[in-house]
Structure 1
Amino acid sequence: MKEGFRQSMAWLHTWSGLVVGWILFAVFVTGTLSYFRPEISQWMRPELRDVKADADAASKAIATLRERAPNSPRWFISMPEAREPILRVTYRDPNGGEGRKGFKSVLLNPATGEEVTARETRGGDFFYRFHFELSMKPIWGRWVVGFCAMFMFVAIISGVITHKKIFKDFFTFRPKKGQRSWLDAHNAVGVLALPYHVMITYTGLVTLMFLYMPWGVQANYGKDREAFFAEALGIPAEIKPANQPGHLTDIKPLIVAARHHWNGANVGFITIDNPSDANSRIAIRRDNEHRLSTNNQSAVFSGTTGELLSVAGEPAPASQTRAVMFGLHMATFSSTALRWLFALSGLGGILMVASGLVLWSVKRAPERAKLGYTPFGHRLVEVLNIGVITGLPIAIAAFFYANRLLPVELAGRPDWEVRTFFAAWLLSFALPMIRPARAAWTAQFVVGAALFAALPVLNAVTTQTHLGITLAQGNWVYAGFDLTMLGIAALLGLTAWYASRTPTSRKPSKRKAAEPLNLPAEAERA
């Protein structure tokens, strides 16, 4: 009975991993890149290299908004921070505006309040949103990713149950043994960051819990979602105007009061409702730097008198638990060293999913040899494996190339960067369709390595943010990006070299050829 249960878990582990493995690979890759979302966004806007944060940025932002959008019903100010020193202001245009839902966003220099001219790009936000929306309509993308995350959670649990010697096997790696080597590698990268894999999958599901399980909110708040967000998540509701003129008070004393309430913590975001009305409100939100919980701690002031009206940010235990899980998933609390540790754990997840997908094909190679041909299903999995695993790095490199090569003044430039990403990824499926698997693996890893290796060179030719300047200035955002690209190129090059090798360097002896594979029982059943 016990053996039958483990056999069922082996089957569940294999198929739950394969069915959604390709999407999970993309989610892990783009999610890992998202740990460096501000740094990627900075590199993709080289015009902002010399922008520095300023303590009086909020006052300058308000002055600019008064000039540009005096009749807007709502202003948003995203304050500069160490990892992203730019000042961003967003306002709602009562006439509809140019952006999504009538919002328009402008980048400002925190030191002067003047608009900064920089190339339009989605930057690191593209990878961040892709990893939970897949560039689909948000509602559908989030449902698909949530479905895949649940399968991932099942695959992790069933994998632990299936491999009863999982921790012992973690210290075992038998190279040049074909299927056995792939199984050892899959076990090793799976166990190496197992707590991370469990945490990131479960917290990923929790972050979108109100989408997957909305019934509690609907039962208690009905259609008044703003009331729920205000009470449970500390997000102030929008204030209706009094339709009488009013003048905003000085923002500086309000920021001082809010920071005092938070024991000196920095301000991350400011929302101003009805800025030209007598019933104006200023909500100042604390930033999440070095905080495990992402609950919205905010102080709300009267916009005309500066009187403190309310303080939010001490939610119920359930909301606080969700905020902690969200903080764990986003790693907003982490230092640079800890962020890299998260990224390396994410790399372990990438290798775990990739090795599991490849293992599915490797384990069925004897069956194909016995049949004398490759069944359609096996060939389909093989093509998808190569196109996804080797094609996604090529697509990411193409996205960065588009950022440097597309004309700065091109209309709809961010969309063209995204189109380049998907076009390169789609082309990556062509070669494995017409070439043998080993040749396709090698060729596309070589292409990926070459693209990433040449990226710092392209950056040096097209901008003034290359290694020759950034290393001398100690600008580690731009220098770190270029060095990371070279590291990725080396990793892909090493993988290409490994993929090009034949399964064995010499013909096996008759005695060895007759030996059974002697895989663990649970692996044979999978």
Structure 2
Amino acid sequence: MAWLHTWSGLVVGWVLFAIFVTGTASYYRTDISHWMRPELSDSSSDPAAAATRAGAYLRKAMPNAAGWSVRLPNAENPAVEVYWWPNPGGPYHHALLDPATGEPARVRDTRGGDFLYRFHFELSLPPIWGRWIVSVCAMILLIALISGIVTHRRIFADFFTFRRDRSAQRGWLDAHNVMGVLALPFHLMIVYTGLVTLSAMLMPWGMKAVYGNDPLRYYAEAGLAIPGVAPAGRPGTPLPLGELVARAAAAGGAVPEVMLVTQPGDAGATVTAYFEEPMGLAHLHPQIAYGADTGSEIARVGEPGAATRTGAVMAGLHEAHFAAAPLRLLFFLCGVMGAATVASGLVLWTVARAPRGADSEGFGLRLVRLLNIGTIAGMPVGLAAHFLANRLLPLGLEARADWEIRVFFAAWIAAAIAASLYPRRRAWSVALVVPACAFLVIPMFDAVLVGQPRFLAFDAAMAVVGLAFVAASRLAARPRSAASRLVEANLSRTIEA
């Protein structure tokens, strides 16, 4: 079990670190998007009128589209977010509209927090490939967690043990144990629920055996969607979208979140109103479908069964949509401890196998050490560069959102390459200074280029992250005593045994 825990954690540890960091940041996905779109104000608008203007815009953009999606403005997202696509499989087009005019909003082109959210489970790869890689890593993490529980027979004693002054290596080992045990319930929950959310992709055989190539019928019978309506094959004249929003609000008791229009140019077009999920753990959205031409109600989403509701609870736990501010902060801190547990485990692997009394190291050990520095210190550099690019890139730059993402990866790669050139004994202290400086300058650039008081909390969080890296760099630069080196040598032999 010790061997299994060590090697399962190593082979996917670098990917897991990236997943944990971006997934943890996604708990504040909306706040990140607000910061990255400072032109958007918090002004309120009439959702029905905004929907009518959005429908007019979409009829001009693509009247014969396979579908439209309109996310209505609310207190958290003041803009109207629209998607449209020519075929069921895409490609998908996106725009942010000014709710007062229905025209594209004068806002910088950015993916906002959505980039980090999707990177968390797709790694900026084609969706099917990214999700499979993340799923495999999650399965291996589950193995590492279970084998780690079996390996640590003194799991409760280790939770209360932290011997930082005895030796650096002993301190890191105890920190790895404490952080792993302290957030262990969260780690088990987050990896298992993450796999459940992708279960339809990982284990599709039950669905295929019963429903064949008609997954929409499965989702309808499971209480997750409303059955589709076949197109009439002739052009139709739909009602203004705002009128359907008003009807849905009256029938559902609240303003819908999203209006989904299927076959908008057809006489048989349908408009489905999606409402915010009710309070609770289950990630389920009430839905009402209307005929686009007549405005008559067609159907409502069915009552989910026990299995569907269980899966929805798993998705709700994973995404924490139900969590108020204090609980969301707790989830965030547990995610930080998850990333720290992975990072400390990767570092311990190299420390325990470092040659004693010599500066030379084998190719495998050197490769792991460089990957550790390049990922643990390099990825935060990319993240900070991504935020800085949002403030520094020209507002009129074509494909500006793509350039922000390119800056993220370019900075990460550059930091990782630079780490291979640092002197071995000073590598960690120097590598950690770079993200420290990058995060500390974010509030400065924001104050000069934007200077909006509503972003003070975000800027303060960036400063805290930068100061944490400063502390980590100073800690890594502390010289080791002869006694500490002796303890580390004995501990390395024990770990190897």
TM-score of the two chains, using structure 2 as the length reference: 0.92
**Corresponding residue of 1:152:** 141
Q: 1:178 aligns with which of 165, 168, 190?
A: 168
**Corresponding residue of 1:45:** 37
**1:107 match: secondary structure:** strand
Q: Matched residues in 2 for 1:198 and 1:144: separation?
A: 19
Which AA in structure 2 matches 1:430?
A: I
Q: In the TM superposition, what is the alpha-carbon distance from 1:442 to its structure 2 partner?
A: 1.1
**Corresponding residue of 1:422:** 409
* 1:403-435 Cα deviation digits (max 9, x unpaired): 222222222222221111111111122233222
Q: In the TM superposition, what is the alpha-carbon distance from 1:451 to its structure 2 partner?
A: 0.8
C-alpha contact (below 8 Å) 2:158/2:177 kept by paired residues: yes
**2:161 match: secondary structure:** coil
C-alpha contact (below 8 Å) 1:386/1:429 kept by paired residues: yes
Q: 1:36 aligns with which of 7, 28, 41?
A: 28
C-alpha contact (below 8 Å) 1:292/1:328 kept by paired residues: yes
**Corresponding residue of 1:495:** 472
Q: 2:4 aligns with which of 9, 12, 30?
A: 12
* 1:264-311 Cα deviation digits (max 9, x unpaired): 354221112233433221111112374421234211122222222211
Q: Matched residues in 1 for 2:487 and 2:338: separation?
A: 33
**2:95 match: secondary structure:** strand
Which AA in structure 1 matches 2:185?
A: P
C-alpha contact (below 8 Å) 1:72/1:274 kept by paired residues: yes
* 1:365-396 Cα deviation digits (max 9, x unpaired): 3xx01566312211111111111000000011
TM-score of the two chains, using structure 1 as the length reference: 0.87
**2:90 match: secondary structure:** helix
Q: 2:293 aligns with which of 292, 297, 304?
A: 304
Which AA in structure 2 matches 1:196?
A: F
Which AA in structure 2 matches 1:47?
A: E
Q: Matched residues in 2 for 1:515 and 1:276: separation?
A: 75
Q: In the TM superposition, what is the alpha-carbon distance from 1:66 to its structure 2 partner?
A: 4.0
Q: 2:184 aligns with which of 194, 215, 223?
A: 194
Q: Matched residues in 2 for 1:450 and 1:395: separation?
A: 12
Task: Report whether the alignment pairs 1:77 with 2:70.
Answer: yes
1:20-419 aligned at under 5 Å gives the runs 20-56=12-48, 57-93=50-86, 101-176=90-165, 177-232=167-222, 234-236=224-226, 238-249=228-239, 254-255=244-245, 258-259=248-249, 262=252, 264-288=253-277, 290-365=279-354, 368-369=355-356, 373-419=360-406
C-alpha contact (below 8 Å) 2:18/2:379 kept by paired residues: yes
- Say if 1:84 and 1:290 are closer, same or farther in 2 by CA, change over 3 A: farther
C-alpha contact (below 8 Å) 2:42/2:75 kept by paired residues: no
**Corresponding residue of 1:437:** 424
Q: In the TM superposition, what is the alpha-carbon distance from 1:225 to its structure 2 partner?
A: 2.4
Q: In the TM superposition, what is the alpha-carbon distance from 1:19 to its structure 2 partner?
A: 1.0
Percent identical pairs in the alignment equals 45
Task: Report whether the alignment pairs 1:460 with 2:440.
Answer: no
Which AA in structure 1 matches 2:154?
A: K
Q: Matched residues in 1 for 2:403 and 2:368: separation?
A: 30
C-alpha contact (below 8 Å) 1:239/1:274 kept by paired residues: no
Q: In the TM superposition, what is the alpha-carbon distance from 1:105 to its structure 2 partner?
A: 2.1
Q: Say which is worse superposed, 131-140 or 193-202, in terms of deviation.
A: 131-140
**1:381 match: secondary structure:** helix
**1:35 match: secondary structure:** helix
Q: In the TM superposition, what is the alpha-carbon distance from 1:73 to its structure 2 partner?
A: 4.2
- Say if 1:208 and 1:519 are closer, same or farther in 2 by CA, change over 3 A: same
Which AA in structure 2 matches 1:88?
A: E
- Say if 1:213 and 1:181 are closer, same or farther in 2 by CA, change over 3 A: same
C-alpha contact (below 8 Å) 1:32/1:346 kept by paired residues: yes
**Corresponding residue of 1:485:** 462
Q: Matched residues in 2 for 1:515 and 1:451: separation?
A: 35
Which AA in structure 2 matches 1:204?
A: G
* 1:80-119 Cα deviation digits (max 9, x unpaired): 233322211222348x9xxx82432221223443431222
**1:369 match: secondary structure:** coil
- Say if 1:239 and 1:164 are closer, same or farther in 2 by CA, change over 3 A: same
Aligned residue pairs total 495
Q: Matched residues in 2 for 1:517 and 1:265: separation?
A: 65
Q: Matched residues in 1 for 2:324 and 2:438: separation?
A: 30
Q: Matched residues in 2 for 1:104 and 1:357: separation?
A: 40
Q: 2:436 aligns with which of 429, 435, 449?
A: 449
Q: Say which is worse superposed, 481-490 or 61-70, in terms of deviation.
A: 61-70
Q: Matched residues in 2 for 1:445 and 1:514: separation?
A: 26
**Alpha carbon RMSD of aligned pairs, Å?**
2.6
Q: Matched residues in 1 for 2:151 and 2:79: separation?
A: 50
C-alpha contact (below 8 Å) 1:42/1:49 kept by paired residues: no
**2:231 match: secondary structure:** coil
Q: Say which is worse superposed, 35-44 or 313-322, in terms of deviation.
A: 313-322
C-alpha contact (below 8 Å) 2:382/2:411 kept by paired residues: yes
Which AA in structure 1 matches 2:465?
A: I
Q: In the TM superposition, what is the alpha-carbon distance from 1:347 to its structure 2 partner?
A: 0.4
Q: Matched residues in 1 for 2:99 and 2:425: separation?
A: 53
C-alpha contact (below 8 Å) 1:17/1:356 kept by paired residues: yes
C-alpha contact (below 8 Å) 1:53/1:86 kept by paired residues: no
- Say if 1:252 and 1:414 are closer, same or farther in 2 by CA, change over 3 A: closer
**1:105 match: secondary structure:** strand
Q: Matched residues in 2 for 1:42 and 1:150: separation?
A: 34
Which AA in structure 2 matches 1:488?
A: V
C-alpha contact (below 8 Å) 1:78/1:269 kept by paired residues: yes
Q: Matched residues in 2 for 1:281 and 1:433: separation?
A: 57
